[in-house]
Structure 1
Amino acid sequence: MKTVLMLTNFSETSRKAITSYLKIHSQLKSDSKFGLLNVYSAPKTGQSQLLKIDDILEQYSLQDLKREKQQIDKVAGLDKLDIDLISGKGDLVKVINQLNEKRPIDLIVLGSKGSNILKQLILGSNTDKVVRLSKCPVLVIPENIDFKKPKKIVFATDLKDCRFKKHFERLANIIRFFSAELLILNVYKETKPDGQLFEEMMNIHLKDIPHSFYYIQNNDAANGISSFLVENQADMLALIERPGNLLVKMFHHSVTNQLALSAEMPLLVFHS
């Protein structure tokens, strides 16, 4: 991965996610470029006052970014790590997408308060906005877990994801980076789908990666995925988010009935 963008609001949650990711990254051979992004909002006021306030808020943001980097370096034990400090104003997703246009971002890393990431995606949050609207792969790390190098990553799919071949390449690159095994899962309700073409395409992208395909029957996709994650001792769940908010559609019923993912683990999302 060439460019990794880490999001911070200077909270303990974001700091823990960033430091845990950097500790793992430092153990792997990579020449990645890192960016640490903080986005601030300016209050509504007159034009002349707004310019002055913008300058002040930007200075505060950059000062806080410098202090945050010092804390991250100290906790992660990476004193010489080169991290670009980026201060942005306005809408978080808009700033991210503008940065992505200037230099393609291979991965966004952000922390999630609490263990139930999917519930936050449904209720709405900055996590939700970044996952749904940014054009880059997003790794969401819940604050209640000790993030470690993943050995098994589950990619849950309805087999319609074959239209998004570029995401398979990105997924494959991330799997290679972590030297992980990929478990490709389809949960169906009644009739097992014909996955031959999908498997053939995946085999092309994953020819050098240990991977396997699984089809399980369950009327509730979330329950099926949750059970599979636990039974196979998975370390991360990967999904492709498509128009119409697939995550919300897939997990809404289970979350509202307190049947959401029982396994607390990072979520890797690719946006179509």
Structure 2
Amino acid sequence: MKKLLVPTDFSPQAEKALKVAAQLARKHHCEIHLLHILELPMNKIDPLSSHNELPEAVFFMKLAHQRFKELIAKDYLQDLTVFEHVEFHEIFKGIFQACKKNTIDLIVMGSHGSNGLKEMLIGSNTEKVVRTSETPVLVIKNEHTIFKANNFVFASDFKDESKIPFEKALKFAEKFESKMFLLMVNTPNKFMTTADAQERMDNFTKNLDFKNYSLNIYNDETIEQGIMNFSQSIKADLIGVSTHGRQGISHFFNGSISEDLVNHAKRPVITFKI
């Protein structure tokens, strides 16, 4: 883990994520890439020209660089390597391109979460990033004076398709020096006997070199509630899940556990793309 991307709108919520990124950068010797997105019409903007058709573009570019200057002067960023980027895109597309261009290892984002009608019709920008990102996304909601991941819950169905995101999660567990609580949530709609669930998890982990983990089967009404309730019961520091990246009508009808957790969980959530 060498490069962290922190999207920012210069809000207090975004700064909470930046403070966590600063802690990670200091501990793991990473560089931070700060990204501000301006959602302006691309057909009227030439980023290489100082004579854009939209005077707003020039104004907001200058404003962003001024706010970057103020942000980078903060004490918690001193002696860290910080780069600033301003892009004209939809937010999730801008983040995708920034990750690809700068070979980012981890996105650290702040989120307010959302509920009810707003969540159904609009969704949060963080939710869209989680749905589409090829890069792992760490979502921060609260202030963390000391960010830790001593107890790291990784929730999965432990099918073969989950092995790649699980391997990514293991690398983060090793970096964070975490104990992993591997979690399968059993629900009435997708019921498995304890014996069957245990057998699936045993098969999934039989060749695992990582030793600091436990297998856990938890019963609840929904998978989302099970993950949050189990995490509460062990006082988890971090919740990890994989995401399919559903979009369009499939996403509307099927939903996504990872996006629901990003919206509703009080703890930090890290997502890994299948």
TM-score range, shorter chain: 0.7 to 0.9
Displacement of 1:187 in angstroms is: 1.0
Task: Give the superposition deviation at 1:198.
Answer: 4.7
Give yes or no for contact 1:40–1:90 (8 Å, CA) kept in 2. Answer: yes
Task: Please list, as runs of the form range in 1=range in 2, the aligned pairs for 1:67-216 lying within 5 A after superposition.
Answer: 67-71=70-74, 74=75, 76=76, 78-113=77-112, 124-143=123-142, 148-160=147-159, 162-189=160-187, 190-192=191-193, 193-194=196-197, 196=199, 198-204=201-207, 206-216=208-218
SS in 2 for 1:268: strand
Q: How far does residue 6 in structure 1 lie from its aligned partner after superposition?
A: 0.9
Comparing 171-180 with 212-221, which one deviates more in the overlay? 212-221
Secondary structure of 1:155's aligned partner: strand
Q: More deviation in 171-180 or 242-251?
A: 242-251
**Alpha-carbon distance in structure 2 between the residues aligned to 1:140 and 1:66:** 24
CA change 1:103–1:250 in 2 (3 A) is closer
CA distance, structure 1, for counterparts of residue 220 and residue 258 of structure 2: 13
Distance 1:223 1:164, change over 3 A: closer
Q: Distance in 1 between matches of 2:228 and 2:257?
A: 12
Q: Which runs of 4+ in 1 moved over 4 A?
A: 43-49, 116-123, 144-147, 244-247, 249-254
Question: Is the 8 Å Cα contact of residues 241 and 247 (structure 1) preserved in structure 2?
Answer: no
Whether the 8 Å contact between 1:42 and 1:57 is mirrored in structure 2 is no
- Whether contact under 8 Å (2:114, 2:123) holds in the other structure is no
Deviation at 1:4, TM superposition (A): 0.9
User: Post-superposition shift, 1:182?
Assistant: 0.6
In the TM superposition, residue 118 of structure 1 has moved relative to its aligned partner by 7.9
Q: How far did 1:24 drift?
A: 4.8
Scaled by the length of structure 2, what TM-score is found? 0.80
Q: What is the one-letter code of the residue matched to 1:181?
A: K
Residue of structure 1 equivalent to 2:29: 31
Over the aligned positions, Cα root-mean-square deviation in angstroms equals: 3.3
**What is the alpha-carbon distance in structure 1 between the residues aligned to residue 119 and residue 214 of structure 2?**
28
Which amino acid counterpart does residue 87 of structure 1 have in structure 2? V
Relative to 1, partners in 2 of residues 1:216 and 1:82: Cα closer, same or farther, differing over 3 Å?
same
Q: What's the secondary structure of 1:61's corresponding residue?
A: helix
Q: Percent identity?
A: 24
| CA distance in 2: counterparts of 1:181 and 1:36, whole angstroms | 30
Q: What number of residue pairs does the alignment pair up?
A: 257
Return the alpha-carbon distance in structure 1 between the equivalents of residues 79 and 229 of structure 2.
Answer: 42
Deviation by residue 1:74-106 (Cα, 9 ceiling, x = unmatched)? 1x2x41111111111121111122122223321
The farther-off stretch of 207-216 and 237-246 is 237-246
Structure 2 vs 1, CA of residues 21 and 249 (structure 1 numbering), >3 Å: closer, same or farther? closer
Q: 1:227 aligned to 2:229?
A: yes
The normalised TM-score by structure 1 is 0.80
Mapped partners of 2:103, 2:42: distance in 1: 32
Q: Distance in 2 between matches of 1:82 and 1:253?
A: 33
Could you say if the C-alpha distance between residues 195 and 31 of structure 1 is closer, same or farther in structure 2, counting changes exceeding 3 Å?
Answer: same
CA deviations 1:20-47 (Å, max 9, x no partner) are 3423542x3x232221111112268967
Could you give the per-residue CA deviations for residues 152-202 of structure 1, whole angstroms, max 9, x where no partner exists?
011111223x31433222211111111011101101133224454554444
Aligned amino acid, residue 110 of structure 2:
G
Contact 1:97 1:134 in 2 (8 A): yes
